[in-house]
């Protein structure tokens, strides 16, 4: 399959968006958003990572198989977090230390 050529303009747009989001992280980092401190930081980080994967790493223009590989990696990270959280969240429900 022929390689998709990304124009310099497209790269520049993505780069500018990444810079804006970095600025957003810095501004949010200096604000006290209470329980949303981590949420906001993570949301911005996920958007930035997605932009890098989709455009700088060309997944946006890749085959279905390549996209499946990328999604599998994220799904497996989700699996790790999800089943670990079943423990972290439910610890203490019984009121018995260590259970």
Residues near another protein, by CB under 8 A: 65, 72-73, 76, 79-80, 83-84, 86-88, 90-94, 98-99
User: For residues 26 and 86, which CB has a smaller minimum distance to another protein in the complex?
Assistant: 86
User: For residues 31 and 74, which CB has a smaller minimum distance to another protein in the complex?
Assistant: 74
The tokens for 56 are: 């700088």
**C-alpha closest to that of 41 among 52, 31, 51:** 31
What's the CA angle centered on 65, arms 62 and 71, to 5 degrees? 90
Q: Closest distance between another protein and the C-beta of residue 86, in Å?
A: 4
């Amino acid at each position: 399959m022929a390689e998709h050529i990304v124009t310099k303009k497209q790269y520049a747009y993505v780069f500018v968006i990444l810079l804006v989001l970095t600025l957003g992280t810095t501004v949010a980092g200096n604000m006290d958003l209470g329980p949303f401190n981590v949420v906001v930081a993570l949301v911005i980080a996920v958007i930035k990572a997605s932009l890098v994967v989709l455009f700088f790493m060309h997944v946006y223009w890749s085959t279905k198989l390549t996209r499946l590989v990328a999604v599998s990696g994220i799904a497996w990270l989700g699996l790790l977090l999800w089943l670990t959280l079943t423990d972290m969240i439910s610890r203490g429900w019984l009121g018995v230390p260590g259970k």
